[in-house]
Amino acid sequence: MIQGIALIDGNNFYAACEQSFNPSLANHPVVVLSNNDGCIIARSPEARDLGISMGQPYFKIRHKLERLGIIVRSSNYSLYGDISHRLMLLLNEHCNEVEIYSIDEAFAQINLSSTKDFYPWARRLREQAHQNLGIPISIGIGASKVQAKIANHLAKTISNHAGIFDFRTTKDQDWWLESIEIENIWGIGKKLSKWCRERGITTALQLRDMPSSELHAKCGVVGIRLQEELKGNSCMKLKVKPSPKKETCVSRSFSRPITKIEELRQAISTHLICAGQKLRNQNQLAGAITVFTHTSPFRQPFYSQKATTQLETPSNDTTVLLTAARPLIEKIFRPYRLLIKAGVKMHSLQTSKYLQTNLLNNEAIEHLQRSQRLMKTIDRLNTRFGKGTITWAICRSKASWEMRREQLSCATTTRLEEIPIVYS
């Protein structure tokens, strides 16, 4: 049995999702903006070739984008999340084990019994991803996670490898490691890369071959593990089952500053509804809630405030969360403050499989069971017919403070009314 670790990564994922469901965007320069249409967070290859950089504020280069004919899209996380889910399902069909690393990245273990050549398997996977999802992917293969990360970087940057690079079978591993700058190694941050460069360690090859004792003195076992991974000794196992979350946070910036408590109440209630659904999807209960808000850090006087409450019984019932958080909103609000952001944080999380209740209070147990059935029904309807199909009255009306998304594309895969119609 021949084993390998692969890192599968969606290329320019957000921009690729936009192009996948809109044929008119194919082979055209496309950029995707962050929340509130703030900065550029994704670029198609065509936009990158025109010199558009990541992180540039949209308002500063808006006219440049228009002049160059670059198509702008607001972030459509419903679309990206759904395509990501479909991509991970596809990977599970082709890989033995999959660790979801981010919305567009996953580590996978591949076991082949008949051949040492992983390229046919990788080509089939790329073809399936492009045919089923319209998403280009890059596949890096190594004997360890760090090698797979390096191989994926090489698969993206070397055009004649067609999006696939197998580091295990390459003839001159040292030559490739010498071409990788120290900053491009997975697990090397700014401080550690600076420390390495001060000692003349500038490439992955030099890091692999440096004295282990010196690296251990700086980074401990983490540094030694990284060095062993570069040598091809797998020290980081795949996390097939993600660890339970310790906190769940939902926050958003406003499209304009708000000064009324009614608007703050509506915003925080909206975030609480979202957080409650997240908790139920995670099979978790919250034991405490924190609400917070603040003004712009670039304007004086700066104001920031938060308030916390403990729940008598841990819960993921949205009604319970709203009732508990309502008094907190009064505590953090101050008149005439130009608030630009608000959010909620769920902490003291625990699994929903077990809940200690009062066995002598049958009414409380019956009420809990009814609320669980109600929440499950609401989540099911919102999943089937679209977010916000059923919600609480405080969030029903359209709010002027909601996130700015002037260039938003359709929720092509998650809303029935926005599914494209093809006429023959």
pLDDT in tens, 168-193: 888 889 999 999 999 999 988 889 99
Which element (helix H / strand E) includes 252? strand 248-258
Distance between CA atoms of 155 and 10, rounded to whole angstroms? 12
Say if residue 417's pLDDT is above 80. Answer: no
Between 354 and 102, the more confident residue is: 102
Position 8 in a domain: no
Position 166 in a domain: no
What is the per-residue pLDDT across 211-223, written as a single tens digit (0 to 9) for each?
Answer: 999 989 988 899 8
Token output for 36: 């509130």
Distance between CA atoms of 74 and 264, rounded to whole angstroms? 24
What is the per-residue pLDDT across 303-361, written as a single tens digit (0 to 9) for each?
Answer: 999 999 999 889 999 999 999 999 999 999 998 899 999 999 999 999 888 776 655 55
Position 314 in a domain: yes
State what percent of residues in the chain have pLDDT above 90.
59
Position 414 in a domain: no
**107-116, 213-222, 244-253, 308-317 — which is least confidently predicted?**
107-116
Say if residue 301's pLDDT is above 80. Answer: yes
Position 6 in a domain: no
Contact 118, 126 (CB under 8 A): no
Q: Which domain holds residue 311?
A: 248-395
Position 313 in a domain: yes
Distance between CA atoms of 366 and 385, rounded to whole angstroms? 29
What is the average per-residue pLDDT within 220-241? 90
pLDDT at 159: 77
pLDDT at 377: 93
Say if residue 158's pLDDT is above 90. Answer: no
Position 410 in a domain: no
* pLDDT, averaged across the chain: 88
Distance between CA atoms of 165 and 6, rounded to whole angstroms? 10
Position 280 in a domain: yes
Q: Which of 314, 321, 307 lies closest to 354 in space, CA to CA?
A: 314
Amino acid, res. 56? Q
pLDDT at 98: 93
Give the domain CATH number at 284.
Answer: 3.30.1490.100
Looking at the structure of the chain, the number of domains it has is: 1
Question: pLDDT grade, residue 385 (50/70/90)?
Answer: confident
Distance between CA atoms of 42 and 231, rounded to whole angstroms? 33
